[in-house]
Structure 1
Amino acid sequence: MDTGSSDNESENNTPPDILDRAAAVRKKYETAYEKFITWRKNSKAKSFSENILLGYFEDISKTFKASTLWSQYSMLRTTINIKHNVDISTYPKLRSFLKRMSDTEELQQFLNEAPDEMYLLTKVAVAIGVTGACRREELWKLKTDDLKDLNSALLVKIQNTKTKKPRTFTVTGEFYNIYKKYAALRPLDMSENRFFINYRKGECTRQIVGINKFGGMAKQIATFLKLPNPHLYTGHCFRRSSATILVNAGGDL
C-alpha cells in the first residue's frame, strides 16, 4: 500500500486555511520547544528532569502570565514526549508550581477588580492571611493587640498557632493600604478586641466574624472571578499562594 500517496492525497483535499492553521500551530510548538532547548543549553543542563523543567518555568514566570505558562507547559509536554519520550505531565512539583501561579494571578485580579463596598473584609483577610500564610483559625483569633501599625507597614503577631510557637510577619505595600482602609472603618468604642468584625455595604458592624466565614472566603473569591466549580475552593487553595503573591505585593515574612 502506498501510504505516502494516500497522505499526499489527503493533504491535497484539506482546505488551505486548515493547512495554514496547522502549520502555524506546528511552528508555535516548535518555537516553544526551541526556546526551552536554548535555555537548557545556556544553563548547562543535560536532562529533562523535573528540577530542570521547574527551573525553566520559574525563570519564564518572571515575564509570562499564568495562562501563558500553562500554554507553554502544554506545548512542551507534547514536543518533549514526541522527541525524547519523556512525559513531563508526571512531574507533580511542576504542576503544583503552575497551579500556585494561577492562584496568585486570580487573587491579584480579585484585589484589583472586586468593589471594596462589598469585598473589603475579604480583601483584608487575604492581605493578612496570604502575607502570613495564616490558617482560618489564626485569622479568627487575631486580636487588635496582635497588630502594631508602623505607619508604613503593619507588624502582625500570631499568638495561637498550630505549632504552639508564636510568629510575626510584616504587611506592606498594597496589602498595608487595604488594612488601613478597613481599620479606619472599625468602631472606636468596640469592647471586643477581636480584629475581624463584619462588614456590610461600606461599613463595619459590631459583630465578630465567625470562623466559617473565613473558610468560605475562597469560594467567594472564586465566585466573583467566575471560576469553574467555586464550591471546590477552600482557604488552603489560596494559602499555598503566599510566597508568590507576597513578593508581588511587597510583603515580608
Structure 2
Amino acid sequence: MSEFSESENEDIIEEAWSVGRPALIPDKSRERYQNRKFLKSGATKKGVNTDEKSLLAYFVIRNEKLKAPGSLWAEYSMLKSTIFLHESIDISKFSMLIAFLKKKNVGYQPKKASVFTVEEIIKFLLEAPDDKFLVHKVGMMFGVAGACRREELYNLKIEDIEESDRIMIRSFVIINEPNEKVDHMDIQGVPE
C-alpha cells in the first residue's frame, strides 16, 4: 500500500517532471537554446505550427546568412533539443529537412585550424619583444600551461593572480562556476 494518495503521487510526479525536463538541456547552453531565432521569431507562439514546412523555410533563410553547413547542423541540433523539450516534437523525423541539411553539406571541406608547434611557442616566448607582446605571452602561458578554456582566459582578472615569488613562481586561482571546483595553477618563470 502506498504512503501517498493517487493525487499526491501525481503532484510529486508533476513536480519531478518540471525539475527534470529543463535538465535535458546543458546548463551552459540553456540560454542559447532558449533564445534561438526560430523561437524568437514567434513561429511557435503565434499559432504557426512547428512542422517540417516551416522549419525547412527557416533553414533556407538561415542558409543565406550561415555559410558553413556545420553552422546549420549546430543550429538544427539546438532547435531539435528545444522543440522536443517544449513541444514534444521530434524534428529528426523530418526527412525533407534532413535531406536539405545533408545536401548543403555535400563537398564541404572544413578549414583546419592552425596550431602552434612546441618549438614555435618557445621561440615566440623567448624572442618576441615584451613591450609589444607581453599580454600575448602571458595569455599563451596561462592557456597552454594551465590548459585554460577560452572563457576562463576571458574572465581572468588581475585579482586572480597571486605572486608567490618575484622570479620563479606565479600562482593564480581559476573559479569556473560557484558550484564547481577551484583550479590552482603555478607558472614557473625562467630565472634571468
TM-score by length of 1: 0.31
